[in-house]
Amino acid sequence: MQENRIEAFVKYNFFHKEQRPRYVPNPFHPESLYYNIEQDYYVCPMGQHMNRIGTKRDKTASGYVTQSARYKAQRCEGCPLRGSCFKARGNRIIEVNHRLNEYKKQARERLTSEEGIKHRGRRCIEPEAVFGQMKYNMAYRRFRHVGKEKVTMDFAFFVIAFNIKKMCAKIAKEASKLFLDLIYRLYTHLKAIYGMN
């Protein structure tokens, strides 16, 4: 999106959780630890430096390559917070994706801005309900064809069917209202003629 100069208002996982009034971040989570950018080290809750020991590379299912910096505490044995901090043997090692954290920071700033709040308010009533109906109520979770043109055709047919379904429901609702209105008029007419209570 940055390459195409698109200002992204995209929610990351846990964004909604962070916005709750009662949300308290985990003090032992890597994002809660103090980070010294100049000297590239973290500080654990007991004040111990966690120095960088290397970089870990991973590849997602879609082929995207991620890089995480690895930091290791110097001495965790005998630490009174060890049970709450981590359960593994040896000294604690954390992996931090600095690039992802920077993207999250940018996203958080945009989403909590005045413009971001306006966009979020529109999104929940416009596309979210429709995608929820498609995925969960109609079990349309994946495309049935391969290739851009075939996927476009596949989705276009589904959208046409979805809109026809909505239109039929609206017509049925209006017909139901007309029918009930007709019954009520007939009842009031008969009541007036026969003096029914």
* pTM reported for the whole predicted model: 0.60
Q: Which amino acid is at 140?
A: Y
Q: What's residue 3's pLDDT?
A: 86
End-to-end CA separation in angstroms for the chain:
69
User: 187 φ, ψ to 5°?
Assistant: -60, -45
Q: Span 134-156, mean pLDDT?
A: 87
| Token pair recorded at residue 16 | 């909604």
Q: What's residue 53's pLDDT?
A: 94
Task: For the chain, give every domain's residue range.
Answer: 15-126, 144-197
Residue 132 to residues 74, 127, 137, 140, Cα–Cα distance (Å): 48, 9, 7, 10
Q: Which amino acid is at 75?
A: R
Residue 197, pLDDT above cutoff 60: no
Q: Which residues pair with 50 in a beta bridge?
A: 42, 73
Instruction: Measure the CA–CA gap between 10 and 35, rounded to whole angstroms.
Output: 25
| Residues 156-169: tens digit of each pLDDT | 988 898 889 889 88
